[in-house]
Amino acid sequence: MTSKYKEKIGAIIIYLTLLVVALFCLAPFFFLLISSLRPGVEMIRNGISFQIDFSALNLKNYWLLVEGKDGIYPLWYINSVIITVAHTVFSLLLTSMVGYGLAIYNFKGKNLIFIIVLVVMMIPVEILILPLYKLAISIDLIDSYMGVILPFVVTPTCIFFFRQYAMSLPRELLDAGRIDGCGEFKIFFQIMMPLMLPAFGAMGILQAMSSWNSFVWPLIVLRSTDMLTLPIGLQSLITPYGNNYDLLFPGAVMSVVPIMILFIINQKAFISGLTVGGVKG
């Protein structure tokens, strides 16, 4: 009798906690969405609040996204897409090579390189922004797609992940390929890479997400208004001379939409990329 009673109370506590936290996690999305439908003047006056005039909601702001400020928002969108795609593709190609090389072969300096990969993972990028900026100026990378991508294209986290994954690849295939006269790179691209496809999925999503949302480095390396990515562009809309909330809210909503769709389609890929890349097992 008492144990059943206890169980019930336990269940209530559990569900109540989960529900409250879920509300905390989802409410901001609701308010961002609603705010994107409200006139910007109202946002300046009230901030984000419970007082919502539902009859005044409309899609005008979304039109403004296309037309407002000489159509700068679509340009930012295109920049973000190009940078994210290029960053992800090159990053996967290069880090999978490195990870595979570290997992499959024995060579001098291999352990040293792996230790360096781990150390680089542990050092905050923010410390390096100043010298990287100087470097970017001297090799003419400022204000270019290349400048955003290049310094962070060989991501240590991805290398680590691919290495862990490649450790489990069957070595017999390596010998079989060699007997068939394939070179080492042909073996990698034609035999091993297809076997590593799940790793590419997980890392691709993780890399794309971090590239799409990346803030600190693009903030520094991108200068002209029409080169900005979405986070930097949205940030630039907040000025002391008036906050462009009409543009900011729908812009913010639209910047979340593509990742949200990806997430809803394939949640597992998001989560598996995190766990294997994160927890060193």
Partner 1 sequence: MLEPPVVALNKSYNRLSKIRTLFASQKKAPYLFVLPFVVSFLVFFLYPIISTVIMSFQRIDGPESITFIGLKNYKNLINPHFFNALWVTTRYTFWTMLVLIPLPLLLAVFLNKKTTMGKKYFKSAFFMPALTSVIVAGLFFRLAFGEQETTLVNSILGVFGIKPMVWLQDPEGSMFAMVLLCTWRWLGVNIIYFLSGLQGIPAELYESASIDGANEIQQFWHITLPSLKPVIMYVLTISVYGGYSMFAESFALWSGPRSPGEIGMTIVNYLYQEGFNNNNLGFASAIGIALFVLVMLVNVIQLWVSGFFKKEGV
Q: How far is CA 117 from the centre of its chain?
A: 20
- Which of 32, 82, 146, 169 is the binder for partner 1 (CB under 8 A)? 32
Task: Check: CB of residue 158 under 8 Å from CB of residue 277.
Answer: yes
- Does 11 participate in binding partner 1 (rule CB under 8 A)? yes
**Amino acid (one-letter) located at 135:** L
**Scanning residues 44 to 83, which ones bind partner 1 (CB under 8 A)?**
45-51
Short-list 78, 230, 226, CA closest to 143: 226
- Which of 75, 94, 191, 195 is the binder for partner 1 (CB under 8 A)? 94
Nearer Cβ to partner 1, position 87 or 151?
Answer: 151
Nearer Cβ to partner 1, position 5 or 185?
Answer: 185
Structure tokens at 96: 């999978």
Backbone angles phi and psi of 57, in degrees to 5: -70, 135
Q: Give the list of residues 6+ apart from residue 233 with CB closer than 8 angstroms, or none.
A: 72, 73, 76, 225, 251
- Does 231 participate in binding partner 1 (rule CB under 8 A)? yes
Task: Check: CB of residue 56 under 8 Å from CB of residue 38.
Answer: yes
Nearer Cβ to partner 1, position 60 or 223?
Answer: 223
- Does 118 participate in binding partner 1 (rule CB under 8 A)? no
- Does 265 participate in binding partner 1 (rule CB under 8 A)? no
- Which of 203, 230, 247, 269 is the binder for partner 1 (CB under 8 A)? 230
Nearer Cβ to partner 1, position 138 or 168?
Answer: 138
| Helices 60-104 and 156-166, axial angle in degrees (round to 10) | 50
- Which of 9, 12, 14, 176 is the binder for partner 1 (CB under 8 A)? 14
- Which of 34, 89, 146, 259 is the binder for partner 1 (CB under 8 A)? 259
Q: How far is the CB of 47 from partner 1 (least distance, A)?
A: 3
- Does 131 participate in binding partner 1 (rule CB under 8 A)? yes
- Does 111 participate in binding partner 1 (rule CB under 8 A)? no
H or E element in which residue 243 lies: strand 242-243
- Does 120 participate in binding partner 1 (rule CB under 8 A)? yes
Strand-pairing partners, residue 35, are none
- Does 191 participate in binding partner 1 (rule CB under 8 A)? no
- Does 217 participate in binding partner 1 (rule CB under 8 A)? no
Q: Cα torsion at 162, 112, 91, 147 (round to 10°)?
A: 160
**Scanning residues 239 to 258, which ones bind partner 1 (CB under 8 A)?**
248-249, 252, 255-256
What's the burial of 208, exposed, middle or buried (CB within 10 Å: 0-12/13-18/19+)? buried
User: Which range in 12-20, 63-71, 81-89, 194-202 contacts partner 1 by CB under 8 A?
Assistant: 12-20
Q: Give the list of residues 6+ apart from residue 252 with CB closer than 8 angstroms, or none.
A: 32, 36, 234
- Which of 86, 89, 150, 191 is the binder for partner 1 (CB under 8 A)? 150
